[in-house]
């Protein structure tokens, strides 16, 4: 039973990261700030998207969905639980 849950968690986290590419250019040097030129957002910046995906996923499947993505405060965790997450994994 833990395998589908873990797969759902990994898929959700992967989908959130894949949707939010980022790039930053130094205006003085005109060079990318990231060594790979582009990267992915993480932390509080992805919370609104992650919260939406948790809500949509929880409505669509009948397995426990973890709340993850931009959780910093207890209030953030509570929002994910209200959106349908069944647990908040520890990092």
CA 34 to chain centre: 21
pLDDT value, residue 9: 58
pLDDT value, residue 2: 44
- pLDDT, tens digit (0-9, with 9 covering 90-100), for 30-68: 998 888 887 777 788 889 988 998 998 888 888 888 888
Query: 16: pLDDT confidence band, cut at 50, 70 and 90?
Result: low
d(CA 42, CA 46): 6
pTM, whole model, 2 decimals? 0.69
Domain boundaries defined on the chain: 2-83
Average pLDDT over residues 74-86: 95
pLDDT higher than 90, residue 76: yes
pLDDT higher than 80, residue 20: no
Q: Which residues lie closer than 8 Å to 48 by C-beta, 6 or more apart? A: 70
């Amino acid at each position: 039973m833990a395998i589908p849950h873990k797969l759902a968690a990994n898929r959700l986290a992967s989908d959130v990261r894949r949707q939010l590419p980022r790039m930053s250019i130094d205006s003085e040097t005109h060079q990318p700030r990231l060594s790979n030129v582009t990267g992915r957002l993480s932390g509080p910046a992805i919370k609104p998207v992650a919260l939406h995906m948790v809500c949509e996923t929880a409505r669509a499947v009948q397995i426990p969905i973890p709340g993850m993505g931009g959780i910093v405060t207890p209030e953030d965790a509570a929002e994910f639980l209200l959106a349908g997450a069944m647990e908040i994994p520890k990092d």
